[in-house]
């Protein structure tokens, strides 16, 4: 048999998963629609300056600002529109929520409403667009609780453990879709000539141990004490308590950093930071968004044998109170995530015992 005939397309993979009873027909079709939208976004990203898609969105009156208070790039807006248009009419969704939109987009009355909710960060890492560094789309799928006609913001406020699918598409030297439907994490590479995603890695595994960490070190002075202590010990290398030298990588595209970790291990950290709030306001508890970034990446990482916490608890156990809420993130190689959590637990216990003694 030729290689072409044995290659497993995303479509074939999903049909086989359906035969195994691991995915229902509506979710299968929804994932196909998202994958198709990602191909369209890949084309727009790939055109770069030739497509007139670089730079900030907005009118002559200044940059357009999203609900997160961040300046939108043209490609943020384009990617958001592509995902909405592709998903509006298929009949699988009740509503979409996006990092780029204040409120959920409810499927218009002109189309049938399905039972799924789709959440996405249409173009993650968009500060990298103008310098031609990898960016990506992150998505998460939930089941709509109750009647799809009554869907509202509250319908989305489910913990990450309720996700029925999650994935990202990375627009890098090659375009790859990394997907989980709760039975392992699998990678598909876009065959640009054929226009289809082809399964290139089944059951990705994150190595348990690592000597590589990813964090934006320029924020160090704003971190809390246990994070300072943990990274201090990583930086001390073989001369410190860890007894090993650690390497560092920071792409500033979560999709690209997580893709590296899924491929060769590591720990990705975007911690709480004193400029981001008191920690009691869920909209300011970190930089990354729970629903659009942390939850889908956590499911992908856990399905590949890794771990994901906010330093103190499993991210997917957090019940959201706000659609756009933020969360500190520590995810990747299981043993290293446990080590980072240990610094936080020991710090909290020491503080509690000082408080009790006082
Ligand atoms: P975005 O969704 O607005 O692009 O922001 C999220 C990105 C992540 O991809 C990345 O890990 C992080 O922001 C980088 O932040 P920083 O520039 O502070 O290092
Ligand atoms: Mg993002």
Let me know how long the chain is.
Answer: 358
Q: From the CA of 325, how far away is ligand 2's center (Å)? A: 13
- Confidence check: pLDDT of 68 > 70: no
For residue range 276-294, list pLDDT tens digits in order: 765 566 667 789 999 999 9
Same domain membership, residue 227 and residue 141:
no
Report the nearest atom of ligand 1 relative to the CA of 257.
Answer: 11
Q: Is 126 in the pocket of ligand 1 (CB under 6 A)?
A: yes
Same domain, 116 and 237: no
Where does 62-211 have alpha helices with state H? 74-88, 153-156
Interval 79-104 mean pLDDT? 95
CATH code for the domain of 332: 3.40.190.80
The helix/strand/coil state of 177 is strand
Q: Using most ligand atoms within 8 A of CB, pick from 125, 172, 271, 331 the residue to mutate for ligand 1.
A: 125
- Cβ of 208 less than 6 Å from ligand 1: no
Does the structure show a pLDDT above 60 at 184? yes
In three-state secondary structure terms, 352 is helix
**CA trace torsion 104, 161, 76, 257 (10° rounding):** 170
**What confidence score (pLDDT) does residue 285 get?**
79
Report pLDDT for 278: 59
How large is the average pLDDT for residues 6-32? 95
Judge whether 42 lies within some domain. yes
Beta carbons of 272 and 328 less than 8 angstroms apart:
yes
pLDDT at 280: 60
pLDDT, residue 253, reads 98
Angle of CA points 82, 316, 324, to nearest 5°: 45
Mean pLDDT for all residues in the chain: 93
The model's pLDDT over 116-146, given as tens digits with 9 standing for 90+, comes to 999 999 999 988 998 999 999 999 999 999 9
Q: For residue 13, what pLDDT is reported?
A: 98
Confidence check: pLDDT of 110 > 80? yes
Q: What pLDDT, in 10s, does the model give residues 301-352?
A: 999 999 999 999 999 999 999 999 999 999 999 999 999 999 999 999 998 8
Check whether residue 259 and residue 222 sit in a common domain: yes
Residue 105 has pLDDT above 60, yes or no: yes
| Ligand whose nearest atom lies closest to the CA of 259 | 1
Of the chain, the percentage scoring pLDDT greater than 90 comes to: 82
Distances in Å between the Cα of 150 and the Cα atoms of 12, 62, 106, 119 are 34, 37, 10, 17
Res. 1: pLDDT tops 60: no
Q: Is the pLDDT of residue 251 over 60?
A: yes
Task: Note whether 196 and 222 are same-domain residues.
Answer: no
Any residues with CB less than 8 A from the CB of 52 and at least 6 apart, and which?
Answer: 74
CA 137 to CA 120: how far, in whole Å?
7
Q: Are residues 110 and 133 in the same domain?
A: yes
Average pLDDT of the segment spanning 241-258: 98
pLDDT of residue 71 exceeding 80: no
Residue 275's pLDDT is 84
Same domain, 26 and 154: yes
Please give the pLDDT value at position 356: 80
Q: Is the pLDDT of residue 97 over 60?
A: yes
pLDDT at position 3 is 53
pLDDT for the residue 351: 85
pLDDT surpasses 60 at 4: no
Specify whether 187 is located in the same domain as 218.
no
Task: Determine whether the shortest distance from the Cβ of 222 to ligand 1 is under 6 A.
Answer: no
Contact 117/141 with Cβ under 8 angstroms?
yes
Q: For residue 150, is it within any domain?
A: yes
Its pTM stands at 0.94
Give the percent of the chain with pLDDT over 70.
94
In a domain, 142, yes or no: yes
User: What is the atom index within ligand 1 of the atom nearest the CA of 70?
Assistant: 3
Ligand nearest to C-alpha 257: 1
Q: Kindly give the distance from the C-alpha atom of residue 255 to the centroid of ligand 1, in angstroms, as a whole number.
A: 9
Q: Which domain holds residue 50?
A: 3-201
Tell which of 168, 201, 234 closes a domain: 201
């Amino acid at each position: 048999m030729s290689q072409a005939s044995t290659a497993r397309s995303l479509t074939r993979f999903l049909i086989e998963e359906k035969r195994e009873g691991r995915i229902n027909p509506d979710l299968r079709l929804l994932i196909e629609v998202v994958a198709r939208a990602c191909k369209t976004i890949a084309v727009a990203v790939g055109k770069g300056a030739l497509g007139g898609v670089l730079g900030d969105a907005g009118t002559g009156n200044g940059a357009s600002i999203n609900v997160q208070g961040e300046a939108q790039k043209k490609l943020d807006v384009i990617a958001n529109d592509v995902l909405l248009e592709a998903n509006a009419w298929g009949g699988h969704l009740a509503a979409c929520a996006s990092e780029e939109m204040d409120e959920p987009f409810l499927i218009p009355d002109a189309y049938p409403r399905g039972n799924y909710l789709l959440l996405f960060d249409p173009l993650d890492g968009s500060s990298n667009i103008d310098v031609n560094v990898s960016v990506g789309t992150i998505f998460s799928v939930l089941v709509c609780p109750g009647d799809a006609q009554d869907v509202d913001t509250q319908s989305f406020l489910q913990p990450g453990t309720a996700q029925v699918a999650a994935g990202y598409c990375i627009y890098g030297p090659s375009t790859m879709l990394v997907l989980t439907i709760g039975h392992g994490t699998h990678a598909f590479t876009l065959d640009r000539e054929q226009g289809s995603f082809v399964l290139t890695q089944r059951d990705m595994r994150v190595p348990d141990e690592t000597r590589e960490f990813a964090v934006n070190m320029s924020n160090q002075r704003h971190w809390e004490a246990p994070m300072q202590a943990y990274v201090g010990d990583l930086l001390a290398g073989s001369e410190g308590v860890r007894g090993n030298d650690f390497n560092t990588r920071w792409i500033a595209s979560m999709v690209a950093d997580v893709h590296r970790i899924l491929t060769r291990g590591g720990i990705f950290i975007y911690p709480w930071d004193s400029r981001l709030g008191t920690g009691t306001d869920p909209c300011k508890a970190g930089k990354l968004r729970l629903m659009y970034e942390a939850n889908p990446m956590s499911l992908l990482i856990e399905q590949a044998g890794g771990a994901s916490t906010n330093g103190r608890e499993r991210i997917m156990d957090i019940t959201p109170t706000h659609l756009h809420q933020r969360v500190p993130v520590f995810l990747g190689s299981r043993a290293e995530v446990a080590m980072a959590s240990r610094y936080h637990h020991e710090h909290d216990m020491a503080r509690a015992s000082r408080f009790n003694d006082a």
